[in-house]
Structure 1
Amino acid sequence: MFLLNQHADYRSGLAPVDAETLGGAGADAIGRHLAERSDHAVTPLHGLPGLAAELGIGALHVKDEGHRLGLGSFKALGGGYAVIRLVLEAAELRLGRKLGDAAFREPEIRAVAAEMTFACATDGNHGRSVAQGAQLAGAKAVIVVHAGVSEERIAAIARFGAQILRVAGTYDDSVVEAARIAGEKGWIVVSDTSWGGYERIPGLVMQGYTALVREALNQLPSRPTQICRPTHVFVQAGVGGIAAAVAAHLALVLGEARPVFTVVDPARAACIVEAARAGRPVKVAHGEPTVMAMLECYEPSPIAWRVLSRVADGFMTVEDADAVTAMNRLARPVAGDPAIVAGESGCAGLAGLMRAAADPDIRQALGLDTSSRVLVINTEGATDPERYAELVGLTPAEVAGRAA
Structure 2
Amino acid sequence: MFLLNRHPDHRQPLTKEDAATLGTAGADAAERFLAARDNHAETPLHALPALAGELGIGALHIKDEGKRLGLGSFKALGGAYAVMQLVLEEAGKRLGRTVDVAELQSPDVKVIAAGMTFACATDGNHGRSVAQGAGLVGARSVIFVHSGVSNERVAAIARFGAEIVRIAGDYDQSVREAARVAAERGWTVVSDTSWPGYERIPGLVMQGYTVIVREALKRLPEPPTHVFLQAGVGGFAAAMAGHLAVMLGQGRPRAIVVEPARAACVYATAKAGRPIAIAHSKPTVMAMLECYEPSLVAWRVLSRIGDAFMTVDEEDAVSVMNRLARPSGDDPAIVSGESGGAGLAGLIRVAGDKKMRAALHLDAGSRVLIVNSEGATDPGRYAELVGMTPEEVVRVRQPA
Q: If the length of structure 1 is used for normalisation, what is the TM-score?
A: 0.98
2:310 partner SS: strand
Cα distance per residue 1:304-363 (max 9 Å; x no partner): 000000001000000010011111000000121000000010000000000010011100
1:99 positional shift: 1.3
1:208-219 counterparts in 2 under 5 A? 208-219=208-219
Q: Distance in 1 between matches of 2:40 and 2:320?
A: 28
1:167 positional shift: 0.4
Cα distance per residue 1:361-382 (max 9 Å; x no partner): 1000000001100000000000
Cα distance per residue 1:264-311 (max 9 Å; x no partner): 010000000000100011111101110000000000000000000000
Aligned pair 1:350/2:344, yes or no? yes
1:376 partner SS: strand
Q: Which residue does 1:62 correspond to in 2?
A: 62
Aligned pair 1:204/2:204, yes or no? yes
Question: 1:267 is matched by which residue type in structure 2?
Answer: A
1:146-225 counterparts in 2 under 5 A? 146-221=146-221
Aligned pair 1:321/2:315, yes or no? yes
Q: Distance in 1 between matches of 2:183 and 2:298?
A: 24
1:402 positional shift: 2.3
Q: Which residue does 2:38 correspond to in 1?
A: 38
1:233-248 counterparts in 2 under 5 A? 233-248=227-242
Cα distance per residue 1:14-58 (max 9 Å; x no partner): 111100000111110100101111111000000000000000000
Q: Distance in 2 between matches of 1:313 and 1:386?
A: 36
Cα 1:103–1:255 shift into 2, 3 Å: same
Aligned pair 1:121/2:133, yes or no? no
Question: 1:313 is matched by which residue type in structure 2?
Answer: D
Q: Which residue does 2:330 correspond to in 1?
A: 336
Cα distance per residue 1:104-146 (max 9 Å; x no partner): 1111100000000000000000000000000000000000000
Q: Distance in 2 between matches of 1:27 and 1:8?
A: 28
Q: Distance in 2 between matches of 1:395 and 1:17?
A: 44
Cα distance per residue 1:60-87 (max 9 Å; x no partner): 0000000101100000000000000000
Structure 2 counterpart of 1:263, from 257, 262, 267: 257
1:191 partner SS: coil
Q: Distance in 1 between matches of 2:306 and 2:244?
A: 11
1:403 positional shift: 3.4
Q: Which residue does 2:279 correspond to in 1?
A: 285
Question: 1:208 is matched by which residue type in structure 2?
Answer: G
Q: Which residue does 2:298 correspond to in 1?
A: 304
Q: Which residue does 2:131 correspond to in 1?
A: 131
Q: Which residue does 1:91 correspond to in 2?
A: 91
Q: Which residue does 1:17 correspond to in 2?
A: 17
Question: 2:234 is matched by which residue type in structure 1?
Answer: G
1:401 positional shift: 1.1
Q: Distance in 2 between matches of 1:403 and 1:273?
A: 36
Q: How many aligned positions are there?
A: 398
Q: Which residue does 1:225 correspond to in 2?
A: none
Question: 1:316 is matched by which residue type in structure 2?
Answer: M
Q: Distance in 2 between matches of 1:178 and 1:98?
A: 30
Give RMSD over aligned pairs. Answer: 0.5
1:13 positional shift: 1.0
Q: Distance in 2 between matches of 1:157 and 1:390?
A: 22
Q: Distance in 1 between matches of 2:165 and 2:54?
A: 46
Q: Which residue does 2:270 correspond to in 1?
A: 276
Q: Which residue does 2:47 correspond to in 1?
A: 47
Q: Distance in 1 between matches of 2:97 and 2:299?
A: 36
Q: Distance in 2 between matches of 1:107 and 1:379?
A: 35
1:398 partner SS: helix
1:202 partner SS: helix
Unpaired runs of 5+ residues, structure 1, are: 222-227
1:382 partner SS: coil
1:250 partner SS: helix
Q: Which residue does 1:71 correspond to in 2?
A: 71
Question: 2:331 is matched by which residue type in structure 1?
Answer: D
Q: Distance in 2 between matches of 1:237 and 1:397?
A: 27
Unpaired runs of 5+ residues, structure 2, are: none
